[in-house]
């Protein structure tokens, strides 16, 4: 072919042909779904508080219930459908974290419990855990030294 | 007579006939616009197996058996099976070949594999090394997703330009003697890479490869777009198709009126939520061996240029930040010689 392009030229050439992501629609959906998850969390927290659980128990209990819900919705095949239109709205809440662990565990069951479920369960959540925990440690050290 | 007529193109001296074909697809493809042209539509994409990989291998096995059966040949008369697929170490193909016991040559051309297998199958016959060959490839949405992308149950959003891997397998039996449709010319592609790194943007990555091969085919055969009733690319989908039309204009070829892409034909993108269109080895394989072969047999298409396109990336090359090397191979299929 005569008209060879470098990556910059080609990027420019295809730009007008690429479909635009529906940012506004995506943001609204994420806002609604993410908001509903947060509402649910608030509701659970309030119920715990009403029944005179202390702050630690309430926080842990809320997280446990939401994680369970995320896992359940993944298991029955609803969470992936939700994620398709909710985007970050269903990824960012703690239910999304449950989804990211349960979905590979389901997917790789066929490769057995060691090389499948065990080895692959954290393929998606692993990096989040690593950098999440590392960041907490660094912040912890800064807090210990300076405050 | 010299068979090689250009740097990339060969003209077959004794063009082999595509004697019979078989196309088998998954349930989603069976709801698409080409449903009536497929030989078998699965109700369940597990195909009675316990894993998607096993199901994909069974797709190949059934497609090969189906194509051989309708050719009227005995399986023992097939000299070679040329097959490839997307899974690591092409396990769908080799596990099917284990059951079929046909001398087996495994190929990898990613989504261009249907054209690679037809090239090899035809050249081996024309070279006098075989009388009958079977050429086959497959892909499976679920086995491809887990290898290249995310677990199925993970709630992620696909970008609007993403493509949907076709579940299906297409097989063709080529014979030395026959009454067509004939494979007359083969233009083997070179790797073309315009620097696309986004593994979701395969149409844009592969379009320049299609353009390179199509223009080489015209240059080396002396033909022009008007010669063909239909030029069809493999799995460029809506965005890649548009890019191909525009890039070919720059090369001086206007193909829009007689051009389509298998990725745009297999699904109803809006109704079936397949974004830009179909992809995977199975995409061009089932469209060719199902719909297009049928049209050629009926006489609605007499001269077809089939250009299967492949993105030769791996998950590892993507993680290492490499761009996507792409390829396209063109096969001229004609009713008469």
> Minimal CA–CA distance to B303: which of B332, B261, B262?
B332
Distance CA B60, CA B87 (A): 13
Could you tell me which residues of chain A have a Cβ less than 8 Å from any Cβ in chain B? 1-8, 10-11, 13-14, 17-22, 26, 74-75, 77, 79-87, 90-91, 96, 99-100, 102-104, 106-108, 110, 124
Instruction: Give per-residue pLDDT as tens, B220-252.
Output: 999 999 999 999 999 999 999 999 999 999 999
- Tokens 């499976």, residue? B140
The angle formed by the CA atoms of residues B190, B191 and B195, to the nearest 5 degrees, is 145
CB contact under 8 A, A18 and B212: no
A38 lies in some domain: yes
A6 lies in some domain: no
User: Does the CB of B70 have a partner CB in chain A at under 8 Å?
Assistant: no
What is the b/e burial string over B10-38, where b = at least 16 CB atoms within 10 angstroms of the residue's CB? Answer: bbbeebbbbbbbbbbbbebbbebebeebb
A109 lies in some domain: yes
User: Per-block average pLDDT, block size 10, for chain A (147 residues)?
Assistant: 93 92 92 96 95 93 96 94 92 94 93 93 92 96 95
A71 lies in some domain: yes
Token pair in block for residue A117: 């479920």
What confidence tier does B219 reach under pLDDT thresholds 50, 70, 90? very high
What is the architecture of the domain spanning B9-175?
3-Layer(aba) Sandwich (3.40)
Report the domain count for chain A: 1
Distance CA B156, CA A90 (A): 9
Q: What is the pLDDT of residue A21?
A: 81
Contact criterion met (CB below 8 Å) for B286 and B170? yes
Q: Which domain holds residue A50?
A: 25-146
Q: What is the pLDDT of residue B245?
A: 97
Q: Which of A4, A13, A14, A18 to mutate to probe the B interface, most B CBs <10 Å? A: A14
Comparing B329 with B150, the larger pLDDT belongs to B329
Compute the 3-state secondary structure of chain A and give helix, strand, coil in percent, each to the nearest 5.
80, 0, 20
> Which of A105-109, B118-122, B168-172, B293-297 has the weakest average pLDDT?
A105-109
> Minimal CA–CA distance to B40: which of B55, B27, B51, B53?
B27
> Minimal CA–CA distance to B144: which of B282, B324, B3, B292?
B282
A86 lies in some domain: yes
The interface pTM score, or ipTM, of the predicted complex is 0.89
A79 lies in some domain: yes
Long-range Cβ pairs for the range A11-18 (8 Å, 24+): A11/B195, A13/B243, A13/B246, A14/B204, A14/B239, A14/B243, A17/B204, A17/B239, A17/B242, A17/B243, A17/B246, A18/B161, A18/B201, A18/B204, A18/B239
- Comparing B9-175 with B182-334, is the CATH topology the same? yes
Distance CA B7, CA B10 (A): 9
Could you confirm whether domain B182-334 is CATH 3.90.1170.50? no
What confidence tier does B1 reach under pLDDT thresholds 50, 70, 90? low
Distance CA B325, CA B302 (A): 32
A4 lies in some domain: no
Mean pLDDT of chain B: 96
What confidence tier does B337 reach under pLDDT thresholds 50, 70, 90? confident
A10 lies in some domain: no
What confidence tier does B2 reach under pLDDT thresholds 50, 70, 90? confident
Domains of chain B, residue spans? 9-175, 182-334
Percent of chain B predicted with pLDDT > 70: 100
> Minimal CA–CA distance to B261: which of B215, B314, B201, B328?
B328
Contact criterion met (CB below 8 Å) for B140 and B95? no
């Amino acid at each position: 072919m005569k008209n060879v392009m470098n990556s910059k030229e080609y990027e420019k050439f295809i730009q007008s042909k690429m479909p635009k992501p529906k940012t506004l629609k995506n943001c609204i959906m994420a806002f609604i779904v993410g908001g509903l998850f947060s509402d649910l969390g608030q509701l659970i927290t309030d119920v715990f508080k009403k029944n005179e659980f202390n702050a630690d128990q309430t926080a842990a209990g809320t997280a446990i219930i939401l994680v369970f819900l995320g896992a359940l919705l993944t298991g029955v095949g609803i969470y992936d459908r939700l994620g398709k239109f909710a985007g970050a709205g269903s990824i960012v809440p703690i239910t999304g974290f449950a989804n990211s662990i349960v979905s590979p565990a389901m997917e790789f069951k066929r490769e057995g419990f060691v090389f499948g479920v065990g080895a692959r369960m954290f393929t998606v959540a692993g990096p989040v855990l690593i950098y999440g925990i590392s960041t907490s440690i660094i912040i912890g050290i800064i807090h210990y030294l300076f405050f | 007579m010299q068979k090689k007529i250009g740097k990339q193109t060969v003209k077959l001296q004794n063009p082999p006939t595509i004697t019979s074909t078989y196309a088998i697809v998954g349930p989603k493809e069976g709801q698409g616009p080409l449903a009536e042209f497929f030989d078998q539509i699965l109700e369940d994409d597990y195909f009675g197996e316990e894993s998607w990989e096993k199901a994909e291998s069974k797709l190949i096995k059934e497609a090969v058996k189906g194509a051989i059966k309708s050719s009227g040949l005995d399986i023992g008369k097939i000299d070679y099976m040329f097959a490839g697929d997307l899974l690591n170490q092409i396990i769908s193909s080799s596990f099917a070949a284990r059951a079929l016991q046909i001398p087996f040559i495994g190929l990898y051309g990613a989504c261009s594999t249907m054209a690679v297998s037809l090239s090899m199958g035809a050249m081996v016959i024309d070279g006098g090394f075989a009388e009958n060959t079977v050429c086959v490839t497959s892909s499976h949405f679920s086995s491809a997703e887990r290898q290249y992308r995310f677990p199925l149950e993970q709630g992620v959003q696909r970008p609007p330009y993403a493509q949907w891997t076709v579940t299906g397998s297409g097989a063709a039996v080529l014979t030395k003697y026959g009454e067509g449709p004939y494979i007359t010319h083969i233009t083997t592609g070179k790797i073309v890479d315009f620097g696309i790194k986004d593994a979701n943007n395969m149409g844009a990555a592969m379009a320049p490869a299609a353009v390179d091969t199509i223009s080489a085919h015209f240059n080396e055969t002396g033909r022009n777009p008007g010669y063909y009733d239909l030029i069809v690319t493999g799995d460029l989908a809506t965005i890649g198709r548009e890019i191909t039309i525009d890039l070919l204009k720059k090369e001086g070829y206007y193909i829009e009126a007689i051009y389509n892409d298998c990725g745009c034909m297999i699904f109803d993108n809006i109704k079936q939520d397949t974004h830009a269109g179909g992809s995977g080895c199975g995409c061009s394989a089932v469209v060719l061996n199902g719909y297009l072969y049928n049209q050629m047999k009926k006489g609605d298409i007499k001269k077809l240029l089939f250009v299967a396109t492949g993105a030769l990336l791996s998950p590892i090359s993507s993680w290492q930040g490499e761009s996507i090397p792409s390829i396209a191979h063109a096969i001229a299929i004609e009713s008469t010689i």
